[in-house]
Chain A
């Protein structure tokens, strides 16, 4: 690891005052929580911060459910949230997405906030043997374009970056209209999770809207009947402990045999957790017939752009949507 100073502030205000920043390789100071991703990045010299500011014990880890919905303290671990009885009962999509992520050991250590801020699995980002990576070294180019890009995104890409966002949790949360509470030295703000991650465009090294000295404090998910009738579908090369090739999070409100409202987000295909509003609109009022599902799912492919090895994802993500809607729709 590059030598760094580890700060362990006594309270959150002190941590925020140190103005560390998550998810940017050009930030001289960065926050660390569970560390399951950060330690890998440090060991491989992908991140070389001068300072690490520990958030251990400083952030809320409570899981609260009320009439308004769910509030997850950002320090809650993946294991705690996945196993919480109220989450399992009222927000099974979140529990499913978490249990389909990582391994039990990782889930015991990794936090909600760290999960949303984990860095891409793009192998060119993770291998410093490559000079070119606009995320790691702004302006250096993108080795994934023209390289081995089976893992890469087909939605939201730019000529500077085609890396996928790896979080399963974020896909489920975006489908459920979750919001994040952001705490900074100057106060708090809240915004929809779907607006939290940024498209790479010409600045792929800026991954979120977090400013220096800001952290995620909590995640809120509004109550809805759709949250119960849901399914998280994850396609991958092996049965467990692997990032998604393609995933689909689906939550449905049904009106008899017809869909009243569908909420759908995709993973493994986007440069950020990817909501598909046009598919949702086409499904409103539709039956669960394969033909209509297939037609609606095709709208997800608008503006999709493969780079060779990942072309198959454009077809696979449509099939994943169809299957996930079928499974969710068949649930009581």
Chain B
């Protein structure tokens, strides 16, 4: 009989494999005759390669080939843009010309028998450059409009701001941040004639196949991509980066399988980053706290060859009610590599500015920050003039505030202490889009009462292996241990990109539909029984169903987003400037929660990521030349266990959304990161009376 599995806190089905080392990550795969690649990277930010002397490298022990723009095969680089690729511009071509546009750009590839031999020979390649003036500091860059320009306006924002009873205008800065997953990016490439197998760390196997096929000018069906386990990514594995091309190129030239694994330092040059962002927010309001005007501008760094954009200012249009709104998004092309999406992309940065400004407005008006938001709660999406498919902000404020004990807050800054420590309480609103993309899945019931279910999805950590097994088992009417779900292989039915919190909405819907069809077919042929196990025993051969699941027009009829509220307690040492987060309570209206244990874990991870964003993460770019000064795990600080507060409370408010997708899910991976940083900086203001508008809030900023 059917047991309710969706909504149950089931432990990871792949957990034992992961903790025992049985899960095979990309760099651990073996291929017969495997050799190793090491990349030589540019040490100038702009210019031309004047000379390359690879003679010493070629004579070094174990070296098979040294590829540079002078001898590398010309690649097709056919047009291809996957969902994570910037819409404007052309991806970096590797080893095709003498032009260098950024630090760390690949300028040569060494293939050698052993890893150390390859790394050492790469150090022996002598490259000289004819450097040219480079722009590596956003303060000296020239921001330009997006293509096409991204500016929105409703009402009369300038007039309303000028006429407002209370107004404020401030600049908010987020530095460049890197994803820093624990697993390095790695690729193994193996050719068999014109067919290529890639084991690659990726959040989207099919896009890797499409991209590499386009780069090499071969049919995508000739490229198989395998990626069963991903050791964290946070967006760094959305795109197909140049090292994947280099692995395939090296394997073709060497005639042997080639493995390339990036070093930690290379991760800061080869896999994208959250862009340095400078935002200006002006708010106008009445004395009773009604927003009259919002002006929100954002400038972000991008490369000279692609326009990377994220939804930086989207939430500004619908988060709070306001009749007069202007947003303007610009990009600063610089001699850097192209940024990419990092957890909570767009919203995490944009909402830091908006929710900081709202807190400043609450202080200026002497209105409780929660009350200010309640007074500006919109009835619909005022930007798109559409109803929300569901919106539970009020419930989130209430649930989180109650759990946190917010009503005991003294609004006066520096009013709360614990010994020497100043205590501060702050909050912020969170939101992230609830998207869905076409996905396919296959379900196969077997006569022994087990089932195989598959989709070429990815699991970078949220628990796709587990949650899809739950959806499949419940839909099929089988115990969970009788269902084997597989993902991460282009031979499986196509799934969309594993990012943007769309995996359950998209792949989950496809899995549900395929399993429903398989079950219906089995029962129809099973001689009248309502028990699928009995039906399969009677049928005696596999029953298989494949489904392509596509969204309808719901996104045209509704504004669909998850919403949340984050409440934080910090302790700040007033003399030494150290901030430690003591408590975080987050409440989320994210539709149906398929697995509360995994979802809580995702939210806790997002909270810790938010602590990193607020207090320590910062890729320190040397403005003189564009090198990342702290491109290592010692000086680029991410939170460690001791930074995780003892209390991280996650509340999922009841939310039934009949419109968003068949499962009624919105996803929590991205929203978990959003709102945490402004809640922390708002709490720091409450603790200290100091408003820090530039992240991260390191001790020097609070002295």
Q: CA–CA, A65 to B265, complex, Å?
A: 43
Name the contact of B123 in the complex, choosing from A2, A151, A236, A323 (C-beta under 8 A): A2
- The residue that B620 contacts in the complex, of A43, A148, A242, A245, with Cβ under 8 A, is A148
Q: Is the CB of B698 within 8 A of A240?
A: no
Q: Shortest Cβ distance from A290 into chain B, in angstroms?
A: 10
Give the contact stretch, choosing among B28-36, B468-476, B590-598, B621-629.
Answer: B621-629
CB distance from B701 to the nearest CB of A (A): 9
**Given known A-B contacts A2-B120, A237-B699, A238-B640, A316 and B622 have beta carbons under 8 A apart:** no
Question: How far does the alpha carbon of A115 sit from the alpha carbon of B119 in the complex, in Å?
Answer: 28
Nearest residue in A to B117 (C-beta to C-beta)?
A3
A97-134 at interface with B (beta carbon < 8 Å): 121, 123-124, 126-127, 129-130
- Write out the residue numbers on chain B whose beta carbons fall within 8 Å of the beta carbon of A332: none
- Given contacts A148-B622, A235-B578, A240 and B634 within 8 Å (CB-CB): no
**Nearest-CB residue, chain A, relative to B103:** A129
**Which residue from A1, A238, A245 sits with its C-beta under 8 Å from B116?**
A1
Decide yes or no whether A319 CB sits under 8 A from chain B: yes
Contacts of B638 in A (CB 8 A): 238
B641 at the interface (CB under 8 A from A): yes
Q: Could you tell me if B615 and A123 are in contact, using CB atoms closer than 8 angstroms?
A: no
- Give the chain B neighbours of A312 by CB distance below 8 A: 699-700, 703
Taking CB as reference atom, which chain B residue is nearest A151? B635
Whether B120 lies near A123 (C-beta < 8 A) is no
- Docked CA distance A62–B41 (Å): 46
> Is B637 positioned at the interface, with any CB of A under 8 Å from its CB?
yes
CB within 8 Å of B: which A234-292 residues: 235-243, 245
Interface residues of A in 29-52 (CB under 8 A from B): 43-45
Residues of B near A151 (CB, < 8 A) are 635
Q: A1-B116, A1-B119, A237-B615 are in contact. Are A322 and B575 (CB under 8 A)?
A: yes
- By a CB distance below 8 angstroms, the chain A residues around B700 are 150, 245, 312, 316
Write the nearest CB–CB distance from B44 to chain A, whole angstroms: 10
Partner of B576 from A43, A241, A319 at Cβ < 8 Å: A319
Tell yes or no: A147 within 8 A of B by CB: yes
- Name the one of B634, B639, B641 contacting A121, with C-beta atoms under 8 angstroms: B634
| Interface residue ranges of A286-331 to B (CB < 8 Å) | 312, 315-316, 319-320, 322-323
How many residues on A have C-beta within 8 angstroms of the other chain's C-beta atoms? 35
- A146: which B residues are within 8 A, CB to CB? 624
Q: Which residues of B contact A1 (CB under 8 A)?
A: 116, 119-120
Choose from A129, A130, A315 the contact partner of B703 (Cβ within 8 Å): A315
Interchain CA distance A43-B120 in the complex, whole Å: 10
Least distance between A311 CB and chain B CB atoms (Å)? 9
Nearest CB in chain A: distance from B520 CB, A: 54
The one of B123, B263, B631, B642 in contact with A238, judged by C-beta atoms closer than 8 angstroms, is B642
**Nearest-CB residue, chain A, relative to B621:** A148
**Considering the chains assembled together, what is the distance between the CA atoms of A127 and B621 in angstroms?**
13
Q: Is B297 an interface residue (CB 8 A)?
A: no
Task: Looking at the assembled complex, report how far the CB atom of B2 sits from the nearest CB atom of chain A, in whole angstroms.
Answer: 47
Indicate whether B411 reaches chain A with its CB closer than 8 angstroms.
no
Contact of A127 with B627 at beta-carbon distance under 8 Å, contacts A1-B120, A45-B123, A121-B635 already known: yes
Q: A238-B643, A312-B703, A316-B699 are in contact. Are A127 and B616 (CB under 8 A)?
A: no
Q: A319-B575, A319-B576, A320-B576 are in contact. Are A239 and B642 (CB under 8 A)?
A: yes
What is the bound-complex CA distance between A224 and B615, given in angstroms?
Answer: 40
**Cβ distance A225 to chain B, nearest Cβ, rounded Å:** 27
Q: How many Å lie between the Cα of A269 and that of B308 in the bound state? A: 40
The CA of A44 and the CA of B635, in the complex, are separated in Å by 15
B634 contacts across to A, CB distance below 8 A = 121, 242-243
17 contacts between A and B (CB under 8 A): A1-B120, A127-B627, A129-B43, A129-B627, A146-B624, A235-B578, A238-B616, A238-B638, A238-B642, A241-B640, A242-B634, A316-B576, A316-B700, A316-B703, A319-B703, A322-B575, A323-B576
A-B contact sample (16 more), CB < 8 A, given A123-B631, A147-B629, A148-B620: A1-B116, A121-B634, A123-B632, A127-B629, A129-B43, A148-B622, A237-B637, A237-B698, A238-B637, A239-B643, A243-B634, A245-B698, A312-B699, A312-B700, A316-B700, A319-B576
Return the 6 tightest CB-CB contacts between A and B, nearest first.
Answer: A239-B642, A240-B642, A312-B700, A148-B629, A123-B629, A129-B43
